[in-house]
Amino acid sequence: MTDKGLEEGKMSDLILYKGRPECEEGRLEKEIRVYDLLDKIGVEYERVDHEAAETMEACAKIDEALAPAIICKNLLLCNRQQDKFYLLMIKEDKKFKTKEISQQINSARLSFAPPEFMERFLDITPGSVSVMGLMNDKENNVQLLVDEDVINAVYVGCHPCINTSSLRLKTEDVFEKFLVAVHHDYIKVVLKGED
């Protein structure tokens, strides 16, 4: 066996492992910090390693490997003045509509935050945005917004701050253990996900 934990199975040429990688060589420090924190707070997780997911076909294989987890679209948003920031977790098949969210959180129109804020607040680059990045937001600059469909799911999938691995975690562990450990709360939002 080449990885710590039991190999759970092979799906679409991707292997689902329990826990952290046995060999950390070549992995970024921010990814290892995610595993360190999850292990420290007693959150179990499964992991699949893959090439950077840049095509819909690649994403579909990752989704299949992490099933039945809800794979989230994670969007870093901000107001026009760029002094309020939000991380929105929605199901990947839903669309973000600024009017729908803005009304629910009593904010002016929201738009996508420039990439420099992803790195400054979450230590994440575009394509790797994840709820795990909140562990790097020590000053609570980012408010988490979560679509109710994500909250109601049994499992959620996300990146460990880098898009060459993906995790499957129990949703309750993310909201009841992880967020508590990183001193963040969340606001539930409802997105219809229709055109």
Task: Decide if 195 is inside a domain.
Answer: no
Please give the pLDDT value at position 98: 86
- State mean pLDDT over 158-182: 96
178 domain-assigned: yes
User: Domain residues for 45?
Assistant: 7-189
Q: Looking at the domain assignment, is residue 2 inside a domain?
A: no
**Token duo for residue 70:** 């809800």
Asked if residue 1 belongs to a domain, the reply is no
Q: Radius of gyration of the chain from Cα atoms?
A: 16
Among 1-5, 90-94, 159-163, which is the least confidently predicted range?
1-5
Tens of pLDDT, residues 8-61: 333 347 899 999 999 999 999 999 999 999 999 999 999 999 988 766 577 788
Residue at 16 is within a domain = yes
- Asked if 68 and 155 count as a contact pair (C-beta separation under 8 A), the reply is yes
- What pLDDT digit, counting tens, does each position of 84-98 carry? 999 999 988 888 888
pLDDT in tens, 95-149: 888 888 988 998 888 999 999 999 999 999 988 999 999 999 999 999 999 999 9
Place of tokens 């360190």: 36
Number of structural domains in the chain: 1
Strand-strand pairing, 110-112 and 85-91: unpaired
Q: Domain holding 174: CATH number?
A: 3.90.960.10
DSSP H stretches of helix in the chain:
29-40, 56-66, 98-105, 115-117, 148-151, 171-173, 179-181
